[in-house]
């Protein structure tokens, strides 16, 4: 998978959120009217893009390995009781 990110103040920021005991969720930046402000592509190891669900506000990537539609999450992590609760180290104030 290849993902391009930007953190420059004037550019949209794509956030990848680690859900506790669940997938990696790519949250797409949106305008106030709900329009997506950035393009996200998830490519396979050949560089071919996976088709992304266009009706969702976020893209969830499986990290448990049990999804039937990898690389995307299909909710199988719940029945498999996948556990992942890692957290990021606290950052000093104003260091984001
Ligand atoms: S993280 Fe949801 S199915 Fe793997």
Name the residue of 16, 56, 64 to mutate for ligand 1: max ligand atoms within 8 A of Cβ.
Answer: 64
- Asked whether residue 2 is assigned to any structural domain, the reply reads yes
- Asked whether residue 9 is assigned to any structural domain, the reply reads yes
What's the whole-number mean pLDDT along residues 64-92? 94
- Asked whether residue 93 is assigned to any structural domain, the reply reads no
pLDDT tens-digit profile of 25-64?
998 777 778 777 777 889 999 999 999 876 677 899 999 9
In whole angstroms, how large is the CA radius of gyration of the chain?
15
Provide the domain limits for residue 26: 1-86
Question: How many angstroms from the chain centroid is the CA of residue 5?
Answer: 11
- Asked whether residue 94 is assigned to any structural domain, the reply reads no
**What's the CA-to-centroid distance between 56 and ligand 1, angstroms?**
16
Phi, psi of 76 (to 5 degrees): -60, -20
Q: Could you tell me the pTM of the whole model?
A: 0.76
- Asked whether residue 92 is assigned to any structural domain, the reply reads no
Report whether the peptide linkage leading into residue 71 is cis, meaning its omega lies within 30 degrees of zero: yes
Q: How far apart are CA 56 and CA 67, in angstroms?
A: 18
Name the residue of 67, 68, 86 to mutate for ligand 1: max ligand atoms within 8 A of Cβ.
Answer: 67
- Please tell me the total count of domains within the chain: 1
């Amino acid at each position: 998978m290849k993902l391009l990110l930007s953190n420059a103040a004037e550019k949209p920021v794509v956030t990848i959120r680690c859900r506790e005991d669940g997938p990696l969720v790519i949250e797409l930046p949106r305008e106030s009217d709900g329009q997506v402000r950035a393009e996200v592509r998830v490519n396979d190891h050949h560089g071919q893009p996976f088709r992304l669900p266009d009706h969702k506000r976020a893209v969830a990537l499986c990290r448990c390995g049990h999804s039937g539609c990898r690389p995307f999450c299909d909710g199988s992590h719940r029945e498999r009781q996948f556990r992942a609760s890692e957290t990021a180290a606290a950052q000093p104030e104003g260091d984001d």
